[in-house]
Every structure is written in C-alpha cells, then in structure tokens.
Copies of this chain bind each other. A is one copy, B any other.
Amino acid sequence: MTGEDETAAIDPEEAAEERQRLLRVVEAVVFASAEPVPDEALAERLPEGVALAELMEELQRFYRFRGIHLVRAAGGWVFRTAPDLAGALATERVETRRLSRAQIETLAIIAYHQPVTRAEIEEIRGVSMHKGTLDLLMETGWVQPRGRRETPGRPVTWVTTDAFLRHFGLDTLKDLPNLAELEAAGLLDQRPVETLGETGTDRGEPPEEEL
C-alpha cells in the first residue's frame, strides 16, 4: 500500500476532524511552553506530511482579533496579549508614601511664601536643602517652578499647583490660615508634633544636612 492510497482512503470528515485535533495540539503546546516554540519542535508533534505553516497560519488568523495573539518571537511561536490592550492590562499598585519633615516644611514654605526661590527657602528654614527635596515635591505634583526672581543669577521661583489645592481641600491659597490663626489654633504651641515623625520616604532618602 502506498502513501497516496492511504491518503485517498481517508474520509474527508475524518480528515477535517484530524486537522482540528492537530490545531488544538499545537495551540496547547505553544500555550504551555515557557519559551517560544520553534517550528521543528512543533513539527515533531505532528504526523509526517502535515503542512505546519498552514496550521500556524490558520491558528494565527483565528487569534488575530482576540485578546491574545499568536506571534513569532525569538525564532518560535508564542502567545502574547494583544498589544493594543497594554493600557487596559496595566495594573497599578498604589504605594502610600509619607513626606519627611524636611519635605513637608519645604512644601509649607512654598505654600506660604510663593513665589519663592530655593535660596529663600533655605534662608527661612535655616538649613540647606537636600537635593531630592524639590524633586520629590515635584513628584507629588503639588509644587512646580514658575517664573524667575529678577535678581543676580535669575533664580527660579517655586509655587504650588492646583493639585496642591485639591489635595489639601483648599479653594484658594487665601484659605491657608495665617500665623495668627495658626497661633489661635494652638499650632504654634511649644509641643512636639508627633504626627510628623522623621519617617522620610520609602526610598530611604538621607536626612537633610543641617548647615
């Protein structure tokens, strides 16, 4: 019996079923593999004479509009999530970070004294500012540089943002209580403020250097 005779003897319905089974096998093999599966490795799973390229093309076509795609990568076949869904797949892990004492003081000085230069902040605080302080405050989205002081060197001046107002529940900067009001609220009393320990950020930023 020759191969040709055998092929001819196969019931077309059976042949379609067999093809479907082979599609399922390569689908499962590619799915289960940790690495892209090369053509040769897939061909090994299939009976002699099966056109792998056609199978793969059919499978690829099948997944074309789905959430996962069958793609070629690193010399083999692999399933990947559809590139256009990258945004929808992105998950956010929210990490709560506390501001260090130096950072929140700087923020407060910017809020009360804006527009204010870095040197002025340092003068008010009486200590030099750590490099990362303004960077981190920028990261919070609560401060931004705006304008320059028309003095020698034309230093940048810092202001608070709308996000600052939103975060702290203020309508305008005028809502910030003045010193007298802070005093009346007892905020100027001599007592340790423990709610703002020197916790710093999770990044373990070094404390500011005192001058």
Contact = CB atoms under 8 A, between A and B. Distances in A.
A68 B26 CA distance: 10
Interface string A102-125: 000000000000000000000000
A164 interface: no
Given A24-B82, A27-B66, A81-B28, A45 B92 contact: no
Interface in A70-106: 79, 81-82, 85, 88-89, 92
Most buried by B among A20, A24, A67, A88: A67
A176 interface: no
Contact of A25 (B24, B32, B85): B85
A39 B88 CA distance: 16
25 contacts: A20-B65, A23-B67, A24-B66, A24-B67, A24-B82, A24-B85, A25-B85, A25-B88, A26-B67, A27-B67, A27-B68, A28-B67, A28-B68, A28-B88, A28-B89, A29-B67, A29-B88, A29-B92, A31-B67, A31-B68, A31-B79, A32-B81, A32-B89, A32-B92, A45-B88
Interface of A: 20, 23-29, 31-33, 45, 65-68, 79, 81-82, 85, 88-89, 92
Given A25-B67, A25-B88, A27-B68, 12 more contacts: A20-B65, A24-B67, A26-B67, A28-B67, A28-B68, A28-B85, A29-B67, A31-B67, A31-B81, A32-B89, A32-B92, A45-B88
